[in-house]
Structure 1
Amino acid sequence: MSRRPDLTRTGGSGISRVVALRTTHRRLRRRFVAVALLLAAGAGLIAWRLLVVQIWEPDRYLARGASQSIRTVPLQASRGAIVDRNGVDL
């Protein structure tokens, strides 16, 4: 026993029901294929960027990352020198 409706019985509109089910099936299949293609394209773009960043141009991105995070900024102290109890600079 199948879960699909029995399309062999003709009850007045049997042919139109078969055609309607076929068009609905085709529409759902097209929608599924379109979503699958969009997901595959997105995964392809992510894979492409990973190749560029990690394999073809890693030095460029390493240098850029280091220049953005490693920096020496001289700050002027707003108070006097820090000394111990004998007045010697620490």
Structure 2
Amino acid sequence: MSIGTGAVLFVIGAILAFAVHVSVGFISLSTVGIILMVAGVVVFVVGLVLALRGRRSVTTSRTGVDAASGERVTRQTADSDGPLV
């Protein structure tokens, strides 16, 4: 989602910076366009890093004997350190 948002910000910024030739007294549209283009690149790179980081997980398996019944008991736990999406 953030990769697409970055691309949209970049495109809107490029349109404002290079294609719109309107004078507005209180704001410079080319400056706003450049700011949006920089923000779009930053959002795009952050989204790419989060997408390519991948998921890492650690699975721990413990085996023991139940004292009451004498049966073998296996317990597995999983800890994941994936991207927050």
Both proteins in one fold, TM over 0.5? no
What band does the TM-score fall into relative to the shorter chain? 0.3 to 0.5
Structure 1 or 2: more strand by fraction:
2
**Structure with the higher helix share, 1 or 2:** 1
* Structure with more relative contact order (C-alpha pairs < 8 Å, separation 6 or more): 2
TM-score by length of 1: 0.36
Normalising by structure 2, we get a TM-score of: 0.38
